[in-house]
Structure 1
Amino acid sequence: MTAPDLPAPRPVLWPLRPLDSAAVRTAARDGRTVVTIRHALLSDVTPEMLSWWYCHVPGTMRYAGKQWPRYLVWHPLDHITYDVTSPGTDGTVGPGARLHITEAPGRNLDQLIDIKVGVEQIDSQAAIISSRLLGTALVRLENEFTATRGGTRYVTRLTIGDHTPAGRLVLNRLAHTKAFPPAKLTAWIRHHIEEVGNLENFLPDLFRYRADHEP
């Protein structure tokens, strides 16, 4: 497989959150690896905004004086492509939609994440996607939102592998060696903390703007 071209970095208008801004815990369970990330408060962001965002990552927005794809703004250094290969059952990026996502944590193509996932849930409580094979979740990413004073508490849970017979026999090894080997997982954790933290810098304004300009 040919690696995609890494697009030029976009302007970084706000500091990216450091690794130690979040609490990270990694645990091994029945052949699976579960990474839980408790992000610092997303100030002035609501669960409604996050639900809207995950349904509307495709599209463009005004940033640094020009129009950019929203996905490239979300992480201005690492993101490459975000394609909706098929819409959800209601014709949107919702449950049943298929996505093809590429990103290079740390702008390092040796750590390229090139993954096709299905959307399981997007609402004001969570956004959940997974990559499945033979009924087994190779990778499952759960993002959970809870409103609190001043913003939203955001917790991520990344599960690598599954407890199905196929997972225990073969596919968990594939998930740990191909999808998220240790070095790539470490790079992704930092990347994810940065991209989630960046939402508080642009999402409130984008959400208000869309209320006046989008159906």
Structure 2
Amino acid sequence: MIILLIIGFLLKPMPNFEHSSPRELPWALPDINQAYTNYQYLDNGQILIEITHVPLINITPKMLAWFYQNLPISTVQIDQTTLPWYHIFHPSEHGVISVVEPATNNLPGMGIGALIQRKEWFGDFNSQGAGRIINFSEQGMTIKPELAGLYFGQIEHSFIQTNKGSQYTVKSLIGSDLPVLGPIINLVIRYKMFPEPMIKQWLRHQVEEVGSLNSFLPQLYGAKHNEHHYRLQLSTQAELN
């Protein structure tokens, strides 16, 4: 099974799909230099990626958990335009996100046990896949990339309460920890599926999407809504301050 999976990795073409048009939103994305980012290759070939995001002001861990739970199932109207939340989370590099398998508590959206599928891109690098949510709470969430019933690392999001809001950190471990065959799988991941230029673009993308929460999440959390559709009136940057 594992050998067949490696062969599948080698033969599988890189994702090729059409990008949706960028959305015009009344806020600017943060610069990657405003956050701490780092990546390194472990002895077994796994990739360790760490991010300490820009401080999130007036955003509590509870608000972050609420946002992620509703992310795949909610829309928002800004002025006269209606968009999925996923499209305001990053205005130019998010395609679609969906719940493939529901959470164990059967609540809609993200939750423990849910399998979440997403299609996005980082600069010129397309990315699509699915992740299983292992932990989900107001303290953060843990997602394990899943393919053919096997896990390939995990991504830990941590939400830490501060005096002004929240500190958001992410620790990602990409690749397989299987003995013997794991390092072979990780070589394929490193050089074909997740090369170093893509890692750098992914870091930029993550800093931009999380940092953008400062511009809309407090307003979204308190917005008028009808089930999973919310309404915001944000015409200028001044209205966000």
Tell whether the structures are fold-level matches, with TM greater than 0.5.
yes
Provide the secondary structure at the position in 2 that maps to 1:104: strand
Q: Distance in 1 between matches of 2:145 and 2:193?
A: 10
Q: Among 71, 77, 100, which residue is 2:92 paired with?
A: 77
Is 2:22 the counterpart of 1:5?
no
Q: Distance in 1 between matches of 2:206 and 2:182?
A: 27
Query: Does structure 1 retain, via aligned residues, the 8 Å contact 2:130–2:147?
Result: no
CA RMSD after TM alignment: 2.1
Is 2:182 the counterpart of 1:168?
yes
Query: Does structure 2 retain, via aligned residues, the 8 Å contact 1:27–1:34?
Result: yes
Is 2:31 the counterpart of 1:18?
yes
Paired letter, 1:68: L
Q: Which digits, 9 at most, give the CA deviation of each residue in 1:85-133, with x for residues without a partner? A: 1111111321111111111113x3xx00111111112211112211135
Provide the secondary structure at the position in 2 that maps to 1:165: coil
How far residue 64 of structure 1 moved from its aligned partner, in angstroms, is 4.6
What TM-score, normalized to structure 2? 0.80
Query: Does structure 2 retain, via aligned residues, the 8 Å contact 1:161–1:167?
Result: no
How far residue 197 of structure 1 moved from its aligned partner, in angstroms, is 0.4
Paired letter, 1:59: S
Matched residues, number = 211
Query: Does structure 2 retain, via aligned residues, the 8 Å contact 1:104–1:112?
Result: yes
Q: Distance in 1 between matches of 2:43 and 2:193?
A: 18
Query: Does structure 2 retain, via aligned residues, the 8 Å contact 1:6–1:80?
Result: yes
What TM-score, normalized to structure 1? 0.89
How far residue 35 of structure 1 moved from its aligned partner, in angstroms, is 0.9
Aligned counterpart, 1:102? 119
Q: Distance in 2 between matches of 1:101 and 1:64?
A: 27
Identity fraction in percent: 27
Aligned counterpart, 1:87? 102
Aligned counterpart, 1:138? 152
Q: Among 73, 76, 81, which residue is 1:61 paired with?
A: 76
How far residue 146 of structure 1 moved from its aligned partner, in angstroms, is 0.2
Unpaired segments ≥5 residues, structure 1: none
Q: Distance in 1 between matches of 2:131 and 2:34?
A: 28
Aligned counterpart, 1:152? 166
User: Relative to 1, partners in 2 of residues 1:179 and 1:117: Cα closer, same or farther, differing over 3 Å?
Assistant: farther
Aligned counterpart, 2:5? none
Unpaired segments ≥5 residues, structure 2: 1-12, 229-241
